[in-house]
Amino acid sequence: MACDVSKDGPYHCTYPHPAATIEDTERAVMAPFGLVLLRSGCSSVSVVVRIRQWSCDYVELEELEVTKLNTFTLSADASTSNTAKIEEMERLLREAQAEKHRLLEHREREIEVRRQALEDERRRREDLEKRLQEETSRRQKLIEREVKLREKQRAQSRPLTRYLPVRKDDFDLRGHIESAGHSIETCYHVSITEKTCRGFLIKMGGKIKTWKKRWFVFDRNRRTLSYYADKHEAKLKGVIYFQAIEEVYYDHLKNAHKSPNPSLTFSVKTHDRVYYMVAPSPEAMRIWMDVIVTGAEGYTQFMI
């Protein structure tokens, strides 16, 4: 290295460096520390040196630190930094895309689950509707079959008494009852002639379910079963016509409301209602049932 040195002026020197040839450098002498800073204007290389030997002929410098400021190196450092940033951004972008794909897949799975649930619910409702229709159809068929069976039984059945209704004009009611095995003479609760039968029975009201004692008159000439307030037959309380009487039977199901004597209760069924009556004795109940059924003209197909 060759330097032109003077104590008072600026120092100009040519400093050969492995990275580049320094020409036209400016040197600054750092007096307190004996340091010299050499800067090259052509290659942007800075060299910090220490003065070893001072003389008018030359200055021997010790290179302390060299900082390369090569523009290509700075560009490379900047490029490396930018590359790291780009890589970081690409990594974040990939993570964001992966998260987006994950969320989309999750949403698609939820939509698929909901769609499947709706489809299952629709199928379940269709199955229930189909089963309901089948059950309704089956019950309708059962009802129709039961109705036909009842109509057939009704057509083939007979009244729930020992005898059928009789409409002959010469029919002897007293003789008919005696031939049935009833002892009319010993049953003082009932008075029977060839055409009539009279006696007290306790009847349940229609609207008001109370039991009241009534005087009943079975008259084959008038073809009625009438009942009065007392045996004088002055105050008529009601009339049951023969053609309205369908059945006469013992109340074995105990349907009579609060019957005063359930074991002596029998029923007279008409088109519009059922009359519940209580006889004063078992024999009187059997006689009344066999008497009334002879006038049950509601069963016209069984009339003699």
What percentage of the chain exceeds 70 in pLDDT?
Answer: 68
Confidence label for 26 from pLDDT (cuts 50, 70 and 90)? very low
Lowest mean pLDDT among 102-111, 142-151, 232-241, 282-291: 142-151
Rounded Cα distance between 27 and 13, Å, is 7
Look at residue 202 and tell me whether its pLDDT is greater than 90.
yes
Per the model's pLDDT, the better-predicted residue between 113 and 207 turns out to be 113
Look at residue 200 and tell me whether its pLDDT is greater than 50.
yes
66-91: b or e for each residue (b if 16 or more CB lie within 10 Å)? eeeeeeeeeeeeeeeeeeeeeeeeee
pLDDT tens per residue across span 90-143: 999 999 999 999 999 999 999 999 999 999 999 999 999 999 999 998 988 989
Using an 8 Å Cβ cutoff, are 229 and 237 in contact?
yes
Using an 8 Å Cβ cutoff, are 232 and 217 in contact?
no
DSSP designation for 11: B
Q: How many CB atoms lie within 10 A of CB 96?
A: 10
Question: If you write DSSP's letter for every residue of 143-170 in order, what string do you get?
Answer: HHHHHHHHHHHHHH---SSSS-----TT
- Tell me the pairing of strands 274-278 and 265-270: antiparallel
At residue 265, the pLDDT reads 94
Confidence label for 22 from pLDDT (cuts 50, 70 and 90)? very low
